């Protein structure tokens, strides 16, 4: 076990886990992660699972985790889409109509939240290319859309030109697959930011909005929250920008050599080899 245990909060009431590389790898749980989550539940500690993925519904993650022996609830799952909904509800309640670029899971989450959602491929194009749309939208919400094309980008650009806010569920430039990397939501967001000249509001990690949405919704202050993640650039930086402490686990993208070389806001409060060491770090701090 590496890291400054004394630098973790003296009292921890909320633990936020990243998923891939922390709770599971592929379709298999990280050894010890089901036991760690079960122990936290038994102590009454608030638990959240946070992912930048915008394509899968929270219910989908409940099912996936349940199949790994990790029972959870929709309320404990936070995707970049659900965090976007929470952020808009608290900080931009005037947003009601949304033009969306994303997958079906994102559409379902936005619609379930009561927003008036129209997917970009379902919008009637302007009378003249580049002209105004036939209706106005309060916001353009952008997630990962594997079927994105020029027409969808053009529609979204027209909506922003018509006054819509530009909101990105996340800005991941790429995401991993078993065969290699594919373009992430950030690649679509970058295209729209370049075309519109508008800086998007980004919700997902490492932006602080996702973790702030979690702490605000839970009513637990960031000073009593610990984020457990495997990515210094996303999980640790995002935690610190939101005012939370972070434990870096070496079960995913980071190893001991990488952890030893971290500097600045990428330095976690503690480093743990895996779930068992995370429990040792947290046990004396739970109330």
Residue 78, Ramachandran bin (φ over 0: left; ψ between -120 and 50: alpha; else beta): beta
Give Cα separations from 2 to 33, 244, 247, 261 (angstroms): 19, 19, 10, 13
Cα distance between residue 208 and residue 171, in whole Å:
12
- Contact predicate 72/78, CB 8 Å: no
* Integer Cα distance of 27 and 29 in angstroms: 7
> What single DSSP character describes residue 258?
H
Q: Is 175 helix (H, G, I), strand (E, B) or coil?
A: strand
What is the per-residue DSSP string for 61-105?
Answer: HHHHHHHTT----GGGEEEHHHHHHHHHHHH-TT--EEEEES-HH
Pairing of strands 270-272, 28-29: unpaired
Cα–Cα distance for residue pair 164/104, rounded to 1 Å: 21
Dihedral of CA atoms 193, 189, 51, 264 in degrees, nearest 10, equals -50
DSSP 266: G
**Residue 108, both tokens:** 């379902």
Q: Give CA–CA dist 172/63, Å, rounded.
A: 24
Which residues are annotated as catalytic?
18, 20
């Amino acid at each position: 076990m590496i890291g400054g245990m004394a630098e973790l909060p003296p009292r921890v009431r909320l633990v936020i886990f990243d998923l891939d590389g922390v709770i599971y790898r592929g379709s298999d749980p990280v050894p010890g992660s089901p036991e760690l989550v079960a122990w936290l539940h038994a102590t009454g500690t608030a638990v959240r699972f946070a992912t930048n993925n915008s394509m899968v519904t929270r219910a989908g993650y409940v099912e996936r985790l349940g199949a790994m022996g990790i029972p959870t609830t929709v309320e404990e799952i936070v995707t970049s889409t659900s965090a976007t909904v929470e952020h808009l509800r608290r900080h931009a309640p005037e947003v009601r109509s949304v033009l969306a670029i994303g997958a079906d899971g994102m559409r379902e989450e936005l619609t379930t939240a009561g927003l008036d959602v129209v997917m970009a491929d379902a919008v009637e194009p302007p009378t003249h290319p580049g002209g105004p749309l036939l209706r106005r939208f309060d916001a353009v919400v952008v997630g990962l859309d594997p079927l994105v094309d020029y027409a969808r980008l053009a529609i979204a650009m027209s909506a922003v030109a018509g006054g819509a806010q530009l909101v990105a569920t996340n800005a991941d430039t790429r995401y991993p697959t078993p065969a290699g990397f594919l373009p992430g939501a950030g690649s679509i967001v970058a295209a729209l930011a370049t075309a519109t000249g508008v800086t998007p509001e980004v919700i997902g990690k490492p932006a602080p909005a996702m973790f702030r949405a979690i702490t605000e919704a839970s009513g637990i202050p960031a000073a009593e929250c610990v984020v457990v993640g495997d990515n210094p650039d996303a999980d640790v930086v995002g935690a610190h920008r939101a005012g939370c402490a972070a434990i870096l686990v070496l079960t995913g993208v980071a190893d001991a050599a990488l952890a030893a070389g971290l500097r600045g806001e990428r330095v976690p409060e503690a480093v743990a080899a895996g779930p068992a060491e995370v429990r040792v770090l947290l046990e004396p701090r739970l109330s």
